[in-house]
């Protein structure tokens, strides 16, 4: 009885405990079966490549990993090139000077402090290049077994993957030289993974081979009428035009003096030079011929395809219309000037995480608050590259003497004509592309997206102006430097930023474009001594913005020293200048600098513009450091029309290399970036670039 009682109470308690503590669980399990199974429905390699839909998605995933040339992310994770703590290649050229002191432009590059322990702008290890290559091979190796895909679709998908792989290889090749060639996926358990860097030429050939294999399987353009071939749904995919243009760009790079020369760019003592991974070991004119051929092939193919790719032409011969034509040529996703674009975001908005726009200029007002993490101030040197509106070269000294800059007839950016009642009319006086590559004093805040007409307030970039309120003064109070992060050089970034008219518009970065193609063609022709033919294509690019031909314009110039358009070197330098004006913010200025070993672009001191608004007091014109927007404008005072300009040297963020000779090895090592030391230390055969 007693025993029974004890047992009973035990059982009762047990069941109570059981009910209390298992009520919330589905069933009672013990031991190994209690441990949950691994998550069900897990997606693996087999899942993806057993489904046409997932395989297509996997291809989309490769597109995501393409290079995007505008940093916009607040992240230091891979891909490093997209972080605004990094910087843009353009900031290392003579065209732009980065003023955001938190960026690596300042801490690593201008201070000449980069080492092989740091990540370069396009990071060898941390830009997802090798991940992309691995993923491309995953697709290529596994696509055969995917059910529900036609052979032609498979071929087309492989071709797209190969283009992406070639483009990612090019992203590294253009700043590092020869690379290890990856021709299949790895497991990581291979054991010996010894792989040397391929020579620069072999690396170029590897990319070209991939593209050559891809070209026959791709469409020339997505201009069809079906949902698989139309522009609305497919623009942005690789085309045979893209593949051919990239091939031309690779071969152009391959033929350029950096690699294709009788002398290596460094001192010839390094392993990298001996291994021909950072130059070819000799100069061969055939390399230029080969690049020229690739350009011609592109042009012929475009011709055969009804010249689908073309320059976006102006609808009227006005400065605004030229600007609009140039702008829509690169910014509008449907532009037929774009051969290949990459995308990372949707439409811009002030809440988006696409912070390229938000951090170039604030979206609600033009002055603040920042942070202006993309304060790539266009330099005076860059602005001076832009001709007068008719095409006549600009020349600070000559034009200053001629009274074109300061004084009553000063028309540095705009000609001001006093109309009835004191109203002022403005007419842009320079190459229309200037206003699309640098915000200059007096320029309207907006160019209407649809109508292409200037509107809104003017940018006031004079000392004390509405947009340029901050300056650096010396101990005596004399202003020596502009200091806003937004307009640090007296100019502001506008390419890919535009103005508030860009709000709500779809974003992209142009990877390859038709205007670049024309200028590459011109360069190859010039390198192959066909100077007149070359100028034809340069002039085609200039004509789009209403400028006269190069030869004619130079003849008109009153400059003391003028380039000779019958001289091969002079023509090439003019093409490079034209590329800078046409292809702002595209990395091309950086590529040109290293391709042509232009150390002097790194060592020359750069300048900004100091502008004063002048008011007439009695007979004198005096500085007026008040803004116009606000008080004066509200009071009905006429728009400021007279300014005084002077130059200042960028000091706040000066570059250490400015004190060096262009031939100094410390400068020349910069023609290629350092490979990461950690990677070299792995000892599988990677050799360091010279000087690092």
Partner 1 sequence: MLTSEDYNYNNKCMNKLKFIKGKAIPFAAILSAMLFVPSAGMLSAHASVQSTQQQESVSGTVIDNTGEAVIGASVVVVGAQQTTGTVTDYDGHFTLNVKPGTQLKITFVGYKEQIVKAANGMKVTLEEEATMLQAVEVVAYGVQKKVTVTGALSSVKAEDLTRTPVSSVNNVLAGQLSGVTTVQTSGEPGADAAQIFVRGQGTWGDSSPLIQVDGVEREMWDIDPNEIESVTVLKDASATAVFGVRGANGVVLITTKRGAEGKAHISATASFSALTPTKMVEMASSYDYAMFHNAMHDNDGTAHEFSQTVIDMFKNNTDPIRFPSMNWSDYIMKDVTLQTQHNVNISGGNKTVKYFISAGMFTQDGIFNEFDRPYDFGYGYSRFNYRSNLDIDVTKTTRLSFNISGKVDNSDKPHSGQSSDQLVKEVYWATPFSSPGFVDGKYIVNSNSTSDNYTTVEGDNAKTIPVLPFTGGTPMAYCMSQPGAFQYNNNKLQMDLVLDQNLDFITKGLSVKLKGSYNSSFATATEITNDASTYTAVFHRGVNESGNIYEEILYRKAGDDTTPTYRNYQNGKSRNWYTEGSLNYSRSFGLHTISALALYNQSKEYYIKGDYSDIARTYVGFVSRVTYDWNNRYMAEFNFGYNGSENFAPGKRFGSFPAGSLGWVVSDEPFFKSVKKYISFLKLRASWGLVGNDKIGGSRFLFMSDPYNVNQTALWERAQYSSGSDSGVAYAYLFGVENGTATKGAYESAKNNPDVTWEKAFKQDYGFDMNFFDDRLRTTFDYYMEHRTDILAIDYRIPTFIGFTPPYSNFGVVDSHGWEVSVNWQDKIGKDFRYSVKLNLSYNFNEIIEDRQAPQQNDYMYTAGHRIGSRLQYLFWKLYYPGAEADYEKEFGSPFPTQLVSKLYPGDPVYVDLDGNGYIDPNDQSRDFGYTDDPQYIAGLNLALSYKNLSVSAQFTGAWNVSRVLGDVFQRPFHNRNTENNGGLLQYHLDNTWTPENPDPNAEYPRATWTNAIQNYAASTLWEKDAKYLRLKTLQIAYDFHFPFMKVLGLNQLQLSISGYNLFTLTPYKFGDPEARASSTPSYPLQRTYTASLKLGF
Query: For residues 345-374, which are near partner 1 according to CB under 8 A?
Result: 345-347, 352-354, 371
Q: Which residues pair with 481 in a beta bridge?
A: 472
Give the nearest distance from C-beta 599 to partner 1 in angstroms. 18
Which is nearer to partner 1, 193 or 417 (by Cβ)? Answer: 193
Which is nearer to partner 1, 132 or 553 (by Cβ)? Answer: 132
> Counting contacts by CB under 8 A, is residue 5 touching partner 1?
yes
Q: What is the DSSP letter of 393?
A: P
Structure tokens at 511: 């990877």
Among 1, 117, 226, 450, binds partner 1 (CB under 8 A): 117
Q: How many residues bind partner 1 (CB under 8 A)?
A: 117
Applying CB under 8 A, the span of 27-35, 306-314, 451-459, 542-550 interacting with partner 1 comes to 27-35
Which is nearer to partner 1, 257 or 368 (by Cβ)? Answer: 368
Query: For residues 493-552, which are near partner 1 according to CB under 8 A?
Result: 505-506
> Counting contacts by CB under 8 A, is residue 18 touching partner 1?
yes
* Cis, peptide link before residue 86, omega less than 30° from 0: no
> Counting contacts by CB under 8 A, is residue 1 touching partner 1?
no
Among 130, 283, 596, 658, binds partner 1 (CB under 8 A): 130
Which is nearer to partner 1, 507 or 553 (by Cβ)? Answer: 507
Per-residue x/- marks for partner 1, 405-444, CB under 8 A? ----------------------------------------
CB of 461 closer than 8 Å to CB of 467: yes
Per-residue x/- marks for partner 1, 187-206, CB under 8 A? -x----x-x-----------
CB atoms within 10 A of CB 352: 17
Among 144, 145, 148, 186, binds partner 1 (CB under 8 A): 186
Give the nearest distance from C-beta 90 to partner 1 in angstroms. 21
Give the nearest distance from C-beta 218 to partner 1 in angstroms. 15
Applying CB under 8 A, the span of 124-132, 261-269, 283-291, 560-568 interacting with partner 1 comes to 124-132
| Rounded distance between C-alpha atoms, residue 85 and residue 92, angstroms | 15
Query: For residues 291-310, which are near partner 1 according to CB under 8 A?
Result: none
Applying CB under 8 A, the span of 129-137, 381-389, 516-524, 604-612 interacting with partner 1 comes to 129-137
> Counting contacts by CB under 8 A, is residue 673 touching partner 1?
no
Which is nearer to partner 1, 74 or 555 (by Cβ)? Answer: 74
Which is nearer to partner 1, 423 or 472 (by Cβ)? Answer: 472
Query: For residues 448-477, which are near partner 1 according to CB under 8 A?
Result: 463-466, 469-477
Element (H, E) at 509: strand 509-513
Give the nearest distance from C-beta 323 to partner 1 in angstroms. 21
Query: For residues 553-572, which are near partner 1 according to CB under 8 A?
Result: none
Query: For residues 52-91, which are near partner 1 according to CB under 8 A?
Result: 54, 57-58, 60-61, 63-64, 68, 72-73, 75, 77-78
In the block, tokens 């100028």 appear at 535
Which is nearer to partner 1, 469 or 568 (by Cβ)? Answer: 469
Q: What is the DSSP letter of 676?
A: P
CB of 645 closer than 8 Å to CB of 156: no
> Counting contacts by CB under 8 A, is residue 636 touching partner 1?
no
| Rounded distance between C-alpha atoms, residue 636 and residue 38, angstroms | 74
Among 202, 400, 480, 559, binds partner 1 (CB under 8 A): 480
List, in sequence order, the alpha helices (H) in 199-270. 200-214, 231-234, 240-255
> Counting contacts by CB under 8 A, is residue 138 touching partner 1?
yes
CB of 513 closer than 8 Å to CB of 358: no
Query: For residues 38-57, which are near partner 1 according to CB under 8 A?
Result: 38-39, 42-45, 47-48, 54, 57
Among 306, 334, 419, 422, binds partner 1 (CB under 8 A): 334
CB of 239 closer than 8 Å to CB of 162: no
Give the nearest distance from C-beta 231 to partner 1 in angstroms. 5
Reduced to 3 states (helix: H, G, I; strand: E, B; else coil), residue 364 is coil
| Rounded distance between C-alpha atoms, residue 549 and residue 540, angstroms | 8
Applying CB under 8 A, the span of 123-131, 251-259, 451-459, 552-560 interacting with partner 1 comes to 123-131
Give the nearest distance from C-beta 400 to partner 1 in angstroms. 26
| Rounded distance between C-alpha atoms, residue 651 and residue 82, angstroms | 27
Quote the Cα angle for 688-691-692, to 5°. Answer: 55
* Cis, peptide link before residue 217, omega less than 30° from 0: no
Q: 567-573: long-range contacts (C-beta < 8 A, 24 or more apart)?
A: 568/526, 568/527, 568/529, 568/531, 571/526, 571/531, 571/534, 571/535, 572/523, 572/526, 572/527, 572/596
Among 31, 147, 421, 636, binds partner 1 (CB under 8 A): 31
Query: For residues 237-266, which are near partner 1 according to CB under 8 A?
Result: 237
> Counting contacts by CB under 8 A, is residue 402 touching partner 1?
no
Which is nearer to partner 1, 231 or 400 (by Cβ)? Answer: 231
| Rounded distance between C-alpha atoms, residue 437 and residue 586, angstroms | 11
Q: Is the dihedral of CA 335, 336, 342, 343 positive or negative?
A: positive
Which is nearer to partner 1, 44 or 634 (by Cβ)? Answer: 44
Q: Is the dihedral of CA 386, 388, 389, 392 positive or negative?
A: negative
Applying CB under 8 A, the span of 204-212, 233-241, 306-314, 516-524 interacting with partner 1 comes to 233-241
CB atoms within 10 A of CB 63: 16
Q: What is the DSSP letter of 547?
A: P
> Counting contacts by CB under 8 A, is residue 658 touching partner 1?
no
The CB-side HSE value for 481 (13 A sphere, CA atoms) comes to 18
Structure tokens at 59: 């291809």
Query: For residues 584-613, which are near partner 1 according to CB under 8 A?
Result: none
Longest CA span, the chain: 125
> Counting contacts by CB under 8 A, is residue 617 touching partner 1?
yes
In the block, tokens 């505008």 appear at 70
Applying CB under 8 A, the span of 107-115, 490-498, 513-521, 530-538 interacting with partner 1 comes to 107-115
Element (H, E) at 416: strand 414-418
Name the CA radius of gyration of the chain, rounded. 29
CB atoms within 10 A of CB 52: 16
> What Å distances lie between residue 470 and 488, 489, 576, 610, CA to CA?
9, 12, 34, 12
Query: For residues 206-225, which are near partner 1 according to CB under 8 A?
Result: none
């Amino acid at each position: 009885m007693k025993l029974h009682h004890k047992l009973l109470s035990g059982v009762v308690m047990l069941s109570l405990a059981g009910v209390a503590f298992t009520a919330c669980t589905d069933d009672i399990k013990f031991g190994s079966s209690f441990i949950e199974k691994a998550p069900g429905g897990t997606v693996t390699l087999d899942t993806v490549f057993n489904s046409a839909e997932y395989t297509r998605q996997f291809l989309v995933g490769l597109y995501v990993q393409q290079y995007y040339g505008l940093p916009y992310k607040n992240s230091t994770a891979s891909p490093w090139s997209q972080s605004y703590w990094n910087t843009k290649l353009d900031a290392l050229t003579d065209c732009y000077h980065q003023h955001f002191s938190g960026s690596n432009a300042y801490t690593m590059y201008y201070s000449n402090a980069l080492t092989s322990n740091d990540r370069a702008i396009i990071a060898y290890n941390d830009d997802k290049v090798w991940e992309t290559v691995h993923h491309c091979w995953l697709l290529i190796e596994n696509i055969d077994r995917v059910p529900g895909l036609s052979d032609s679709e498979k071929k087309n998908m492989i071709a797209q993957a190969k283009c992406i792989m070639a483009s990612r290889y090019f992203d590294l090749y253009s700043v590092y030289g020869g690379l290890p060639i990856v021709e299949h996926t790895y497991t990581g358990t291979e054991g010996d993974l010894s792989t040397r860097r391929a020579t620069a030429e072999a690396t170029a050939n590897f990319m070209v081979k991939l593209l050559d294999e891809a070209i026959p399987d791709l469409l020339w353009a997505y201009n069809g009428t079906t949902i698989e071939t139309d522009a609305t749904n497919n623009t942005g995919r690789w085309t045979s035009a893209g593949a051919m243009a990239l091939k031309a760009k690779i071969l152009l790079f391959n033929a350029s003096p950096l690699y294709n020369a009788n002398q290596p760019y460094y001192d010839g003592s390094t392993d990298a030079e001996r291994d021909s991974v950072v130059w070819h070991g000799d100069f061969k004119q055939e390399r230029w011929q080969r690049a020229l051929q690739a350009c011609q092939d592109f042009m012929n193919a475009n011709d055969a395809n009804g010249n689908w790719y073309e320059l976006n032409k102006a609808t009227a011969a006005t400065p605004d219309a030229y600007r609009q034509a140039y702008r829509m040529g690169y910014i509008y996703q449907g532009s037929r000037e774009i051969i290949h674009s990459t995308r990372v975001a949707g439409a811009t908005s002030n809440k988006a995480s696409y912070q390229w726009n938000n951090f170039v200029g604030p979206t609600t007002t033009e002055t603040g608050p920042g942070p202006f993490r993309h304060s790539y101030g266009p330099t005076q040197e860059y602005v001076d590259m832009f001709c007068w509106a008719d095409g006549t070269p600009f020349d600070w000294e000559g034009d200053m003497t001629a009274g074109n800059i300061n004084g009553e007839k000063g028309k540095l950016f705009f000609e001001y004509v006093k109309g009835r009642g004191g109203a002022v009319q403005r007419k842009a006086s320079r190459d229309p592309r200037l206003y699309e590559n640098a915000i200059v004093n007096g320029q309207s805040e907006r160019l209407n997206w649809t109508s292409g007409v200037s509107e809104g307030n003017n940018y006031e970039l004079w000392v004390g102006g509405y947009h340029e309120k901050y300056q650096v003064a010396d101990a005596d109070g004399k202003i020596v430097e502009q200091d806003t992060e937004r307009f640090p050089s007296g100019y502001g970034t506008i390419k890919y930023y535009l103005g508030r008219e860009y709000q709500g518009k779809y974003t992209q970065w142009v990877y390859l474009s038709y205007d670049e193609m024309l200028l590459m063609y011109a360069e190859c022709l010039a390198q192959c001594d066909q100077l007149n033919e070359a100028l034809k294509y340069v002039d085609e690019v200039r004509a789009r913005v209403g400028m006269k031909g190069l030869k004619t314009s130079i003849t008109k110039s009153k400059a003391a020293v003028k380039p000779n358009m019958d001289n091969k070197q002079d023509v090439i330098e003019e093409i490079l200048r034209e590329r800078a004006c046409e292809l702002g913010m595209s990395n091309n200025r950086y590529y040109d600098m290293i391709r042509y070993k232009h150390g002097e672009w790194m060592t020359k001191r750069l300048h900004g513009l100091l502008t004063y608004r002048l008011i007439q007091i009695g007979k004198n014109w005096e500085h007026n450091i008040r803004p116009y927007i606000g008080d004066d404008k509200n009071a009905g005072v006429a728009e400021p029309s007279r300014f005084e300009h002077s130059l200042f040297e960028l000091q706040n963020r000066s570059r250490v290399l400015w004190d060096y000779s262009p031939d100094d090895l410390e400068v020349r090592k910069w023609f290629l970036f350092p490979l990461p030391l950690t990677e070299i230390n792995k000892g599988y055969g990677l050799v360091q670039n010279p000087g690092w």
